[in-house]
Amino acid sequence: MAALDTAPRARTIISRDPTRLLQIVEEIYHIKDLDTLLEKVLLEARNFVKAEAGTLYLAAGRYLYFSYVQNEALFREDRPKDKYIYSNKRLAIDKNSLAGYVAATGDSLLIDDVYDISSNVSYHFNPDFDKKTSYKTGSILVVPLETTDHLILGVLQLINAKNETGLIIPFSMQDRLYITEFARNAANAIEKAKLSREMVLRMVELAELRDPYETSQHAKRVGAYSIELYEAWALRHRVEDRKIKHMKEILRNAAILHDVGKVALSDVILRKPGGLGKDEIIQMKSHTIHGARLFKYVHSPWDRMAAEVALNHHERWDGRGYPGKIDNIFAREIRFGPGKREKEIPLAARIVALADVYDALMSKRSYKDSWKEEQAMRYIRVQAGRQFDPELVGLFQRNYDTIRAIRKRYV
Catalytic annotation, residues: 262
**Stretch (H or E) spanning 24:** helix 18-28
Which residue blocks in 29-169 are alpha helix, DSSP H?
Answer: 34-49, 98-105, 128-133
Nearest residue to 89 (alpha-carbon basis) of 112, 47, 60, 52: 60
In terms of Cα–Cα distance, which of 373, 370, 375, 379 is closest to 400?
373
CB half-sphere exposure, 112, CA atoms < 13 A: 12
CA atoms within 13 A on the CB side of 295: 26
The kind and range of the H/E element at 375 are helix 373-382
What is the distance between the alpha carbons of residues 327 and 313, in angstroms, rounded to a whole number? 18
Q: Measured between alpha carbons, how far is 284 from 276 in angstroms, rounded to an integer?
A: 9
Phi first, then psi, for residue 272 (nearest 5°) are -70, 125
Query: DSSP letter string over 151-188?
Result: -EEEEEEEEEEE-TTS-EEPPPHHHHHHHHHHHHHHHH
Peptide bond into 346 cis (omega under 30): no
